[in-house]
Chains A and B, each alone.
Chain A
Amino acid sequence: MTSQHDTIWYAGRFVQWGLRPLARPAQEPEYRELTERYFDDGAFRATVRELADGLGLRVLDVSEHGIVLAPQDDSIFGLRPADFRPGSARVDDRLLDGLAQIAIAATVFPRARDLDEDPDIVRPPVTIDEVEVQLRQLCERLSEEARGTTDPAASDEARGLIEAWRVYLRRLDTMETRDSRKAMRATRRVIEYALDRLREFGCFTQVREGDEPAWQPTRRYQVMVQQLAATALFQLLREVCDAPRGGEAA
């Protein structure tokens, strides 16, 4: 029955497998066959790439571990921070969720050269503490630097002109209250939520480091950050910084 399908159908199946983050070629005969075919058949490869491109996906890596896809800019497959945390559309929350993602990646890959390592090498697991400390220390240093300058005007705050680190540091205070409902918005909880969601997306698995829960990056996550996310965000940042001031404020 399958013989009546043509290359495009198989390419579609292959992309679909790539969208199931927990599937593995080692466990799915069809997935394994398609992965082999991707290696062996040039026409199939081209079709897969075309098809993925048309859908707004980039093929980051194909190996015996399967296909790793990433959403292109403005792709329908891109998960925005607004959709990440249902029921919260506040700018601050979205910003913190985004910062948590970058901090997690920065904790998994602490040095630039770590991004150049073989993605088959398992990176050590990270804990909420490690990610939190990384962010907090950075924010505290920036706060230290800002000491002596005038505090931001109230109108600046409303227009989103205060620095991002202030938003983060403000959340730390919330954590110190004993109110459990407020603690949901505390930074540790934000990071935990981020790691938990990443686990659902097949980017991390939960392990234990002594008594503490820790999150072990999967190969898929390593590929995503190493091959694209780190450099792409860096590139975006440079574009924003290089852009004329006036244009960006709009």
Chain B
Amino acid sequence: MKDPDPRTTAHSAQPSFGFAEGNQSVASDTPTAPTLPAVDPGALSSHVEIWPLELTRRLRVLLHTLPLDALRRGDATRDPELRHYDGLALALRVLDVVIDRLGLEAEADREVVTRLLRPVLAALDAAAEMPVSAERHDVMVDRLLSGLRNDSEARRPFTEVYTTIDADGRASRHSLEFRLLIDTFHPSGRTVLRPSSEACNLYLRLLDLDVEDAQAAAEAVVESQLARGRFDEAVHSAREARIQSVIFREKILRILRDTRRDVDRVDWKEDAPRTLNESVAHLERRVSVERGILVAADARLELMPDEDANGRRAVVQIADLTRDCLLRHTELHEQLMGARNVFLDAQGRQAFAPGPLQPLPDLSRDVLEPILRMPVAQASRLVDRGFPLFVGPRVPMLPSLTELVSWMLQPRRPQPRQDVPVEPIDAADVEAELQRYSPQIRAAAESLLLSTAAGEARLSEVLSAARNAGATDSVLEVIALLALQGFATEDRDAAGISAEVISGAHLEDSLLYGNDLLVTATVRGG
């Protein structure tokens, strides 16, 4: 059943989780070169004594943590203002965010990660007595993401070399390739961050547990904790159970996605049908357990006294988390029911897909270089033929008589004005000068002004009338200011006064001097 071609092996093994045999990364886990001389096999009682098989598996698990370790070691060598950030703790929080959002409508992208990491970064700032800086946070998030994506090596998988002892007692070096965080195209056109299956396992400390088992375990724990009234712990377990259900869903969807894309990627003879059957059974069990938890949570809530606010909150939270699991599982159940059809459809569709796999070229060495060596005329001919494939289809334009006629008949559009005259704006608030006076003075001035200038009056007259009525200097100043507002045309509405210069006339007043104005009350009567 197993195909010796490493590429096919990789794909058929893809749906399987865990670091153990069957993992995606096994395919690239190829011996680099036997480096040490063989030990005389006769001297060995048994291979297992020298190198228990279990060791290799554990070793490989350990290797997956090295990129995280590198982030931690990077703490000391980062720019001084970033050194107080704990790379390892932050990286784990990034994985937590990304895994938590898997399969949700709003999958995590850089913005989401930054937003959720800010409080953590701020806490680290506070601990180091550093001022909080959003800019610095952005830089640190960049560092974290680039460390987890392996940006320094063009986002290729991390490659870790390790040594094991083969069955014949020979030491051999292998290299293990794996990814942790992957930038993925989202149908919405965004780029979202997704964890690799290795990252999920690493984060969840699953190591060699099956996802299904882990979830059953988590839910069993929720049940028992709920029964024993240990609510805070139950909330934690329910959260764990929810993460498991997210991962489980991802696992199934990956099989379906891979099948849609390339039927040969998934082993539909044995692996996939078995996984799917098991998954259906698993889901049915989970759904019934989750319903049980919900019933138990409801019953608990009824019995709990209202004063136990914390307890009630915890139980409500457990119920919410469990309901979320239930929803995901019910949805997934539907998808699983249609899974067989996905396979049959894909098979029918891909039977006519473009021919068999051709050897993949190294574009620089196998294509670009030979073309550069060619004579110009020959190279041009070749490039001319290959060119359209790299730019995609171009739509040829056809002349349309209808379009032409309607274009010619349309009224000439006015040329958009190249420059718009900008009215100079007096930035000063009209009211600003008046603010200096108390409301009483302003009200007194306003009423005096409006009563005197009910028809039309010279400002000199208004002022002298006011002075006769016993107005103070402040009131007179305000009257003058209001009249001036009325003079500025744009302020007239606000002032309720309009004023015109009486040419040649001067203000006759002991306090104020300047041109005399003809004042008229406009809007605000009385």
Chain A residues close to B by CB (< 8 Å): 18-19, 21, 24-27, 39-40, 42, 45-46, 49, 57-58, 60-61, 63-65, 68-71, 73, 75-84, 91-92, 94-95, 97-99, 101-106, 109-116, 119-124, 134-135, 138-139, 142, 159-165, 167-168, 197-198, 201-203, 218-221, 224-225, 227-237, 240-241, 248-249
Contact = CB atoms under 8 A, between A and B. Distances in A.
A105 B363 contact: yes
Nearest to B394: A79
17 contacts: A27-B188, A39-B260, A39-B345, A45-B349, A80-B387, A81-B383, A91-B377, A99-B383, A105-B390, A110-B364, A159-B377, A162-B375, A162-B376, A167-B376, A202-B392, A229-B390, A248-B378
Contacts of A121: 182-184
Interface stretch (B39-47, B161-169, B354-362, B455-463): B354-362
B354 to A, nearest CB: 7
Contact of A201 (B358, B361, B392): B392
B150 to A, nearest CB: 10
Nearest to B150: A124
Contacts of A78: 387-388, 393-394
B3 interface: no
A95 B376 contact: yes
A94 B380 contact: yes
Contacts of B372: 99, 138-139, 142, 163-165, 168
B469 interface: no
B392 A203 contact: yes
Contacts of A25: 187
Contacts of B183: 121-122
B513 interface: no
A161 B376 contact: yes
Contacts of B385: 73, 236
Contact of A230 (B360, B373, B375): B360
A159 B373 CA distance: 16
Interface of B: 7, 151, 154-156, 182-185, 187-189, 191, 260-261, 345, 348-349, 352, 354, 358-364, 366-380, 382-396
Given A91-B380, A116-B360, A224 B188 contact: no
Contacts of B391: 79, 84, 101, 197-198, 201, 203
Contact of B363 (A106, A142, A161, A235): A106
Given A79-B392, A232-B389, A237-B366, 16 more contacts: A26-B188, A40-B345, A57-B393, A58-B354, A78-B387, A78-B394, A84-B391, A101-B383, A105-B390, A106-B367, A122-B183, A134-B364, A138-B368, A142-B372, A234-B361, A237-B371
B188 A124 contact: no
B456 to A, nearest CB: 65
B384 A81 contact: yes
Contacts of A165: 372-373
A75 B387 contact: no
A102 B349 CA distance: 31
Given A95-B383, A241-B370, A71 B389 contact: yes
B393 A231 contact: no
Contacts of A119: 185
Contacts of B367: 102, 106, 230, 233-234, 237
B216 to A, nearest CB: 30
Nearest to A162: B376
Given A40-B345, A123-B155, A236-B386, A102 B363 contact: yes
A112 B369 CA distance: 14
Contacts of A233: 361, 367, 382, 386, 389
A84 B358 CA distance: 29
